Amino acid sequence: MNTKTNQSVNVGVDTGKFQLDIYIRPLDIYFTVSNDEKGIKEAIKIIKQHAPGRIIIEATGRLEMPFIIACANANLPFVVANPIHIKRFAGAIGQRAKTDKLDAQLIAHYGEAIQPKLSQLKPDTMQAMSDLVARRNQLLVMQTMEKNRLQILPKELAMTIKPILTVFKNQITKIENKIVALIESCPDYQAKNCILQSMKGIGKIASASIISNLPELGYMTNKQASALVGVAPMNRESGRYKGLRKIQGGRHQVRTVLYMAMMSAIQSNPVFKETYQRLVAAGKPKKVAIIACIRKMVVILNSMLRDGVMWEAPKATN
């Protein structure tokens, strides 16, 4: 079999719970398989015959993972694409109709036109840590919802919520213990964790989220790091119009965790406390000030990991 790839061949994969719709462009080949071990094996066999330059699949959460793992095991080049980017591409080319086949064709067309950077499969421990952080966030959201209900329900109904809150608390503790165990199992993670947690405001969960969901931190420019987290303000200007700069995109899971970390940091870390108070005093909305502090945090953490140094407040204020 020819192991060389044909850069002009792009494969679009539309993922469903039970089915994969696959389109190979520009060969105009369309087929479907079941989204299970047997179907994925059949799809990989067909795709390999055409040695594609890239296989593009939308990030749906978890449904795409078995197919992605199969691509990695078969040494096939794959891209896990942001659904927002594909949706915007559809708008740009004027595609409004939507079927599974059209979606697969659109994804393949996106790969051909945009040529997105190839993705890499996370190591097992990193993926496991990422999943644990995500699950912890989900439990925290549900816990908050139940706590809010506790405040408004009659006493006899409120009593039904307390056992549920106990379950949430226990599960969150178990997940946090698993996260710590994963970090301690890898010397590289231990080293990164030690550096990250030397900054006041960064706890074990924020550290784990950075390690698992932002492994590039320390190997990129400060602007790239800010953009990847989604805290770099984007200009909105056209002619005489100058709109407010807004953040967009980025890895929301990391940004969410860092937002919570910053709420702690502006209380306990003099550097971020001073920055936050200065921005608010200058008339900036509180949320804007917090995002600016997160951006500063990301830049400092990027430098710390790059240089392999611990947090030093005097240097951080420069």
Note the pLDDT tens digit of each residue in 9-19: 999 999 999 99
Answer whether residue 156 shows pLDDT above 50: yes
pLDDT at res. 274 = 95
* Helical spans, DSSP H, in 74-123: 83-92, 100-114
Percent of the chain with pLDDT over 70: 90
What's the full length of the chain, in residues? 318
DSSP state of 246: B
Sign of CA dihedral 299, 303, 305, 309: negative
pLDDT at res. 100 = 93
Mean pLDDT taken over the chain: 88
What confidence tier does 2 reach under pLDDT thresholds 50, 70, 90?
Answer: very low
What confidence tier does 247 reach under pLDDT thresholds 50, 70, 90?
Answer: very low
Cα 301 off chain centre by: 18
pLDDT at res. 219 = 87
Buried b (16+ CB within 10 A) or exposed e, 250-272: bbebbbebbbbbbeebbeebebb
Residues 19/40, Cβ–Cβ less than 8 Å: no
In whole angstroms, what is the distance from residue 62 CA to residue 45 CA?
22
Backbone angles phi, psi at 208, to 5 degrees: -65, -40
pLDDT at res. 249 = 57
What confidence tier does 238 reach under pLDDT thresholds 50, 70, 90?
Answer: very low
Answer whether residue 301 shows pLDDT above 50: yes
Contacts of 216 (CB under 8 A, 6+ apart): 224, 225, 228
Which amino acid does the sequence have at 258? L
Contacts of 100 (CB under 8 A, 6+ apart): 14, 16, 19, 21, 32
* Tokens, residue 22: 């696959």
Cis-peptide into 26, omega within 30 deg: yes
Mean pLDDT of 41-47: 97
In whole angstroms, what is the distance from residue 48 CA to residue 29 CA?
13
In whole angstroms, what is the distance from residue 268 CA to residue 277 CA?
13
Considering the entire predicted model, what is its pTM? 0.68
- For 83-141, the pLDDT digits (tens) are 888 999 999 999 988 899 999 999 999 999 999 999 888 778 888 888 898 899 899 99
In whole angstroms, what is the distance from residue 251 CA to residue 254 CA?
6
Lowest mean pLDDT among 27-36, 188-197, 238-247, 260-269: 238-247
Answer whether residue 42 shows pLDDT above 50: yes
pLDDT at res. 235 = 46
